[in-house]
């Protein structure tokens, strides 16, 4: 897996949100890569599924960035 688990220790709110942001950025990038691979394989169903995932991750990233200012 490319998303690593963090150690069980206390961190502040902003640090926590930034870690979540990094995870969502990775998932968004992976979704975009999967869309490209699916299109190259002429698999529109998989491309559509990952388009939905990418849109959801993009929306969440927008909200995270708005929260962080």
Task: Answer whether residue 1 shows pLDDT above 70.
Answer: no
Centre a 10 Å sphere on the Cβ of residue 60 and count the other Cβ atoms it contains. 15
pLDDT digits (tens, 9 = 90+) for 34-45: 999 999 999 999
CA distances from 59 to 14, 18, 21 (A): 19, 16, 12
pLDDT at 41 (0 to 100): 98
- Tell me how far CA of residue 27 lies from CA of 12, 38, 49, 56, in angstroms: 23, 16, 14, 10
Interval 8-63: pLDDT, tens: 888 899 999 999 999 999 999 999 999 999 999 999 999 999 999 999 999 999 99
Q: Tell me how far apart the alpha carbons of residues 53 and 6 are, in angstroms, rounded to a whole number.
A: 24
Residue 68 has pLDDT above 60, yes or no: yes
């Amino acid at each position: 897996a490319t998303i690593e688990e963090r150690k069980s220790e206390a961190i502040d709110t902003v640090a926590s949100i930034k870690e979540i942001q990094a995870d969502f950025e990775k998932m968004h990038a992976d979704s975009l890569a999967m869309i490209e691979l699916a299109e190259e394989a002429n698999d529109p169903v998989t491309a559509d599924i990952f388009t939905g995932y990418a849109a959801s991750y993009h929306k969440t990233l927008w909200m995270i960035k708005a929260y962080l200012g």
